Structure formats: C-alpha cells, structure tokens
Amino acid sequence: MTWEIIQFKKKIIISTIIIAILLFLYLQNNMITTTNITVQYSNLPKTFNGYKIVHLSDLHNKTFGKGQKNLIRKIKKTKPDLIVFTGDLIDSRRYNEEPSIKLMKEITKIAPVYYVPGNHEGRSGKFNELEKGLLESGVNVLRNTNKIIKKGEESIYIIGIDDPVLHHFDSYRDETLNNIIEVATDNIPNKDGFKILLSHRPEAFSLYSRYGMDLVFSGHAHGGQIRLPFIGALIAPHQGLFPKYTSGKYTQGSSAMIVSGGLGNSLFPQRLFNRPEIILVELTIN
C-alpha cells in the first residue's frame, strides 16, 4: 500500500469522525424528545382523572422547522387537555418574538395555553409588547393571578407567578416570593382545592410546597444544559454546579414538581445528552 493511499484513508476516517460528531451535536440541539410522567393524587377531582398536560419551557427564540412545524407536530401527537409554558419564550440577548408568537398562536388551536414569564422576558425590556402579542394570540398570561379550569361539574385552580426579574430582583427571596404567591392566591375561594402552580424557577420548590401547591411546573435549568453519564447535570442558573432540580419529577410533602429540560439554549449554544424536551404529564387518582 502506497503512502498516498494510506494518507487518503486517514483523511476519509478523520472526515467521517468529524461529520459524525457534527451530526451528533446537531441532533442534540434539534431532535425533540417527549417525556411521559404520571402523577397520582388522592385529592384530584374525579373528572380530571386521566387529564393530560403538555409542559413546555425555555424556547429562547429556537425554531424547529418552518413555522415551528416539527415542534407543533410533536405536541399534537400527545393530544393534551392543557398546555403550560413556564417562561423564557424569548432570549433577551437576541430578542426575536416572531418564532415564539408563531408557536404560541398555533398551539392554542390544540388546547388552552397558560403561560408565565421568565427572567429573559424581564431582562428584555420588551415584555409589554410580547405580552400583547400573546394575549392577541389567545394565550392565557398568568401574572401573579389564578384561573379556574373546569371539567364537567368539577374544577381545579391554575396559578401563575412572575419571575422576580420583572420586579427588579435577580433571584427569589422568601419575603418576595411569599408576597407574590399571596397576591396570586388571594381570591381563591376554596384554599383546599387542587392547585397547579406555574413558576419559572424550580429552586424555590420548598416554598411552593409550603403553600400547599399540589403540582408545580418549572423550567429555567435547561436540564443542566450538559448531562454526563453517571454524573447527571453539570450546572444550572441560580443553582450552580451539580444542581438539584434540572428535569423530571420531584416530590416534597404532598407537592410534586415537574421541571422541563427546555427547548432552546441561551448563553451556551450546545446541549449534550440533553435533547430539547416536551413533557406530557397525566394526572391520575391513587
């Protein structure tokens, strides 16, 4: 075998490896996964047994096909009763509301959509404009308030709170969060009713549980952005290294929290072993 042939084969091998790595990295950022989670309750109203909720978070302007068609198709397949979005719909560093509004407008045709803002909406300085677009698209924007969701003769409460950045705090403080939740739940007539909370940041789970929230939906952690086998998530905003709440289901007392790994990226542009995620939660009676 000549020297030229050996060199050519080496180039082919190296090129193949590079292409494989690039393809892997592309799929890590763009191949959407659907995670199914079942949560059981003894106090869930009977008509809500089997109720399905799609949880989305942290889009950060990301697009999945023209007009978000790939993401919308995935959501449709789950046949949800409700869709919740827990903040960072846009990215404050490269503000572009068009892919976000497009997504939200289309998914309101699938099921009712409830949304709370994240820290990037607060930092963008353009949330009023974004909120107007969301309301015009049929999205229920929950800002320190609650709504009743009815099914037959029974009902549950859905509560949404602002990210603290919208109130000029960089992170949650107990007193700030207490005030926000008290405002959001003040007019609930049945304090013992089944309550769903939408809040962007998961690190305050102990406080959410203290307020008797049955089910909490959060995002913000991006699944840890990079996850390594046997180690898990490396870092998350406001949780630091090896964060506790990154993705999946967590429980404390009678409360359960579902944390979305998110859809897009922010400061760091690459996901690793942590693909964009749709979560489908099914509520059941135990």
Q: pLDDT tens for the chain, 286 residues: list them.
A: 687 888 888 899 999 999 999 999 999 999 999 999 999 999 999 999 999 999 999 999 999 999 999 999 999 999 999 999 999 999 999 999 999 999 999 999 999 999 999 999 999 999 999 999 999 999 999 999 999 999 999 999 999 999 988 877 766 665 677 888 999 999 998 889 999 999 999 999 999 999 999 999 999 999 999 999 889 999 998 899 999 999 999 999 999 999 999 999 988 899 999 999 999 999 999 9
pTM (two decimals): 0.95
Collect all residues with Cβ–Cβ distance below 8 Å to 7 and sequence separation of at least 6: none
Which pLDDT value is given to residue 175? Answer: 66
Nearest to 162 by CA among 188, 145, 144: 144
- Counting every residue, how long is the chain? 286
Using the structure block, give the residue that is written with the tokens 């023209």. 66
Do 180 and 161 meet the contact criterion of CB atoms below 8 Å apart?
Answer: yes
| Cα separation, 267 vs 256, whole angstroms | 29
Do 146 and 158 meet the contact criterion of CB atoms below 8 Å apart?
Answer: yes
Nearest to 114 by CA among 55, 49, 39, 33: 55
As a whole number of Å, the end-to-end CA separation of the chain is: 70
Which pLDDT value is given to residue 165? Answer: 87
Which pLDDT value is given to residue 171? Answer: 63
Which pLDDT value is given to residue 170? Answer: 65
Q: What is the DSSP letter of 166?
A: G
Identity of the amino acid at 42: S
